[in-house]
Amino acid sequence: MGWHVEYLENIERVAREWPCRTAVRTSTGMSLTYRELWAASEALAEQVGKLVERGMPVIVYGNKDPFMVVCFLACMKAGCPYVPIDGNSVPPQRTASIATQIRASMTGDAGIEAPLVLAVGSFPTCDDMPPVTVIEHRAIDDLVAATGHSDRARWIDGEDLAYILFTSGSTGAPKGVEVTAACFDNFCAWDLELAHGNTPERSDGRVWLDQAPFSFDLSVFELAGALGGGGTLYSLVAETQLSMAAQFAALKESGADIWVSTPSFAELCLANADFDQSAMPELRLFLFCGETLPNATAARLLERFPRARVVNTYGPTESTVAVTSVEVTAEMAASPEPLPVGAPRLGTRIRIVDEEGRSVPAGTFGEVVIEGDTVARGYFGRPDLTTRVFDNAVLDGAAVRAYRTGDEGYLDAEGMLHFRGRLDLQVKLNGFRIELGEIEGHLRRLPEIAAAAVAPVYRDGKISHLVAHVVPSEPLGDTPFRAGLVLKERLAEFLPHYMVPKKVAFHESLPMTGNGKLDRRALTEKK
């Protein structure tokens, strides 16, 4: 039995049948029941519908406040894609760039001169900020306090946009990925299958850990899964994540059944010896996405959480969070081979192509192309970028979109995808093409290494050498210099000399971005 999900209708049903169930709860004690969530989003949707025309993007600004979720639903009900911006990790200049792009898309036909901002947090100002219409938190409280009802004819549907996520980590202006209502509903159905299986009970009140900022698409995993399945979204707010002690206390208090995060965040938690099943007895599932899951990390989680499954997934923002999955077994984690990222979900086809766009045989590396019913519509206001990487395809007789990911991988004989890394993480050093992910994979398989990343050092605009940045699993028994020599000798057993990093730098932890991913830019030296 498969799942059919219409997100808003599902939430409405839970609000009617289990009105007192907690829908959203934070690590600082804020919460909303399903009745409160639904009523507040109904009232706000009516007001948003009066302020902006259907289809107009609405910025939702803040950090993990339950009323951000109210705003998301209100925008969907008003027929407007929401644009989440995390007030803790997104700098004002980037916020200004996003607002500028939205303003540039306005036609002015309805007399609207500035983008609408629902500011659950304090909205920033800077010189580059365009004119915006800001509704502050207190005003939002007043709006939702009044009884109101959305116009169901305006609810998003089909090819209407559900949300726009502006991608991070690239140079220049951020790109807004346009995710449709159909993409979102299709992803939500698969998300619930991962968590629940094909069971008839769809509203069992499971608690989903929400760690990533709402402006990072990983958060859609838990937003869709928790509320689409009648569960509870438990959010770790920014101030909680500033303190390891507060964070660990919040995790123990969460009652989380389902963990969603990047591997980097899990590794941070594993540094605490008390992070195990006894601390989180209800935990039954780890869902990982956003970056490579190291074998050693999966093995430690399986050992410490014997009642929990570990599921590895893969997918870019442009394919609505993730499109492949595989349950990691202890045998897979113990293998010297990197973990696969899984088989494609129903409704998705994965192809591996060469530089000319031609499909390559199983076992051959190439660029990963995703075709299916969760591929985004394109980039907001950027038809040039859209036509460069998006295309049309046919899957099972139905027209779908295709996306060239820029990721490198291969499909094995069983159709399982193996991810190698970003094509743009390939560097040339002394004429040799080097895949940094391959070096990192060998480092992570060493028992004395807890985490690793390899970064180039630039001098005069070109790569001088490579540095291996590592977090040891135990305190060094020798000087960093001698310990580094040993590591390089170990690497030389598997890699050609030109791939062995010139230097090894030891760290207590590797830097992470606000999205919980490895911050490679912080490791790259330019001189």
Distance CA 67, CA 144 (A): 10
Question: Given a cut of 50, is residue 79 above it in pLDDT?
Answer: yes
Domain of 450, in residue numbers: 430-526
Q: What is the mean pLDDT of residues 339-361?
A: 96
Query: Could you tell me if 405 and 446 lie in one domain?
Result: no
Q: Which two tokens stand for residue 117?
A: 């901002």
Question: Given a cut of 90, is residue 429 above it in pLDDT?
Answer: no
Residues 387-418 have pLDDT tens digits of 999 999 999 999 999 999 999 999 999 999 99
Residues 188-209 have pLDDT tens digits of 999 999 998 755 455 578 999 9
Count of Cβ atoms closer than 10 Å to residue 396 Cβ: 10
Angle between helices 263-270 and 295-304 (to 10 degrees): 50
This prediction has a pTM of 0.84
Residues 352-382 have pLDDT tens digits of 999 899 999 999 999 999 999 999 999 999 9
Query: Could you tell me if 126 and 24 lie in one domain?
Result: yes
Give pLDDT, residue 433: 60
How far CA 34 is from CA of 14, 120, 282, in Å, comes to 7, 19, 22
Give pLDDT, residue 103: 94
How far CA 271 is from CA of 127, 133, 435, 508, 509, in Å, comes to 42, 44, 28, 10, 10
Question: Given a cut of 90, is residue 106 above it in pLDDT?
Answer: no
Query: Could you tell me if 365 and 459 lie in one domain?
Result: no
Query: Could you tell me if 364 and 437 lie in one domain?
Result: no
Residues 150-191 have pLDDT tens digits of 999 999 999 999 999 987 533 356 889 999 999 999 999 999
Count of the separate structural domains present in the chain: 3
Comparing 66 with 111, the larger pLDDT belongs to: 66
Percent of the chain with pLDDT over 90: 72
Domain membership of residue 358 (yes or no) is yes
Nearest residue to 436 (alpha-carbon basis) of 410, 458, 454, 420 = 454
Query: Could you tell me if 153 and 63 lie in one domain?
Result: yes
Least confident of 253-257, 361-365, 496-500: 496-500
Query: Could you tell me if 95 and 237 lie in one domain?
Result: yes
Mean pLDDT (the chain, rounded): 90
Query: Could you tell me if 492 and 401 lie in one domain?
Result: no
Paired residues of 379 in beta bridges: 177
Query: Could you tell me if 100 and 140 lie in one domain?
Result: yes
Domain membership of residue 229 (yes or no) is yes
Q: Which amino acid is located at 285 in the chain?
A: L
Residues 296-305 have pLDDT tens digits of 999 999 999 9
Give pLDDT, residue 200: 45
Q: What is the mean pLDDT of residues 262-267?
A: 88
